[in-house]
């Protein structure tokens, strides 16, 4: 598996749309860019952006466009304006490459027609030149920092060892200057992060998405059903704040597994020095199975080539299903954080 850390002008051009809406959520984070391009934006472009933000319910325009357009293999290199102008060709290619996005692709046409003039105005105001002269040097500096860290921490090797034969051939991390405050997953094992984030935040968010989904559900169905039937897990699921999401048990358990996998790698790479302390606070400590699984991953390392689903089933077979409270307490004791339940 190879980790690619790179820049992409097109992604930051899309990110610029969020800032041009003049929503304080973005202008506070990117005041210089808004002063350069947002304040000078024509009323015509402002009038085009307004109904888009009203339809979306917020000014977060770029993620949906980036996600859909990223299915195109040449997305990084082509002109966005030329891409948007060739509507029929674009929709045909998207429907061939990602049939499940056919409905979203149909919604893309009016959105592109609306936003293309705004992007054209931004480029006419010199955004491309601004990005290359001001943003790209900062991105390259961050790229060098992250690449050096990933190599020194043997991040590729660690990921290969945990995922085994299910590891992707490559993972792409796109560094943007205008993505904050968002970290966004696009198609495949590809992620967007902002250069203002520290390396701990960038890698933690990217790794979390690398592991989703951690397995095909049917390959671990018996294990998940056993865990879901444990009274301690059931109680944690029922008592969690609905605002944290995951209304179904399968989704809740999958998130617990992903969290444990991410923290396992982050701790080994030196990105997280207190994973159990994090889990005790994160989402009000509701991810109790993450605590148990992390402890088992640390105590029973899997074979590097073994598929993760197979290793997961073996670990669950060793757990005291029916009394996972004891496994939870033992995990915290092993971490030096005893907790009475």
The CA radius of gyration of the chain, in Å to the nearest whole number, is: 22
Output the pLDDT for position 165: 86
Whether the pLDDT of residue 60 is over 80: the answer is yes
Per-residue pLDDT at 68: 87
One DSSP character per residue, 6-35 reads EE-HHHHHHHHHHHHTT-HHHHTT-HHHII
- The pLDDT of residue 37 is 98
Give the position of tokens 């757990």: 319
When pLDDT is cut at 50, 70 and 90, the band that residue 88 belongs to is confident
Whether the predicted pLDDT of 279 surpasses 80: yes
Distance CA(236)–CA(286), nearest Å, equals 6
Cα–Cα distance measured from residue 11 to residue 334, given in angstroms and rounded to the nearest whole number: 44
Least confident segment among 44-53, 148-157, 213-222: 213-222
Name the pTM for this structure.
0.90
Mean pLDDT along residues 145-174: 94
pLDDT number for residue 106: 67
Instruction: Tell me: pLDDT of 283 over 80.
Output: yes
Phi-psi region of 192 (alpha: psi -120 to 50; beta: other; left: phi over 0): beta
Mean pLDDT of the chain: 94
pLDDT at 107 over 80: no
For the chain, first and last CA: distance in Å?
Answer: 41
- pLDDT digits 0-9 by tens, 286-339: 999 999 999 999 999 999 999 999 999 999 999 999 999 999 999 999 999 987
pLDDT at position 56, please? Answer: 92
- pLDDT band of residue 100 (cuts 50, 70, 90) is confident
When pLDDT is averaged across residues 84-109 and rounded to a whole number, the result is 78
Instruction: Kindly state the average pLDDT of the residues 187-199.
Output: 95
The SS3 call for residue 104 is helix
Integer angstrom CA distances of residue 170 from 160, 188, 270, 323: 11, 10, 22, 39
pLDDT tens figures, 164-189: 988 889 999 999 999 999 999 999 89
More confident: 234 or 100: 234
β-pairing, 184-185 vs 190-194, is antiparallel
pLDDT for res 272: 96
Instruction: Determine the Cα–Cα distance for residues 59 and 217; give it in Å rounded to an integer.
Output: 35
């Amino acid at each position: 598996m190879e980790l690619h850390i790179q820049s992409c002008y097109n992604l930051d051009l899309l990110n610029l749309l969020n800032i041009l809406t003049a929503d304080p959520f973005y202008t506070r984070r990117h005041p210089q860019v808004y002063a350069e391009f947002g304040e000078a934006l024509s009323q015509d472009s402002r009038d085009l952006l307004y109904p888009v933000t009203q339809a979306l319910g917020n000014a977060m325009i770029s993620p949906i466009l980036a996600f859909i357009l990223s299915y195109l293999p040449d997305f990084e290199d082509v002109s966005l304006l030329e891409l948007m102008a060739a509507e029929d060709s674009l929709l045909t290619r998207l429907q061939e490459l990602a049939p499940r996005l056919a409905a979203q692709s149909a919604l893309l046409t009016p959105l592109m027609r609306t936003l293309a003039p705004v992007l054209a105005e931004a480029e006419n105001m010199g955004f491309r030149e601004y990005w290359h002269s001001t943003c790209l040097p900062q991105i390259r500096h961050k790229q060098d920092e992250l690449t050096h860290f990933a190599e020194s921490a043997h991040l590729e090797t660690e990921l290969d060892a945990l995922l085994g034969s299910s590891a992707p051939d490559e993972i792409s991390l796109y560094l943007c200057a205008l993505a904050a405050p968002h970290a966004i997953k696009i198609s495949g094992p590809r992620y967007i992060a902002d250069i203002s984030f520290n390396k701990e935040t960038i890698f933690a968010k990217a790794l979390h998405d690398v592991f989703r989904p951690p397995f095909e559900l049917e390959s671990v169905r018996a294990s998940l059903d056993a865990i879901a039937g444990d009274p301690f897990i059931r109680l944690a699921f029922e008592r969690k704040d609905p605002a944290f999401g995951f209304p179904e048990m399968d989704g809740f358990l999958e998130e617990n597994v992903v969290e444990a996998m991410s923290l396992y790698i982050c701790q080994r790479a030196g990105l997280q020095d207190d994973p159990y302390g994090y889990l005790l606070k994160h989402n009000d400590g509701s991810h109790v199975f993450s605590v148990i699984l992390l402890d088992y991953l640390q105590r029973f390392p899997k074979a590097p080539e073994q598929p993760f689903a197979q290793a997961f089933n073996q670990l669950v077979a060793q757990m005291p299903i029916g009394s996972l409270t004891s496994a939870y307490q033992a995990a915290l004791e092993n971490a030096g954080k005893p907790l009475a339940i």
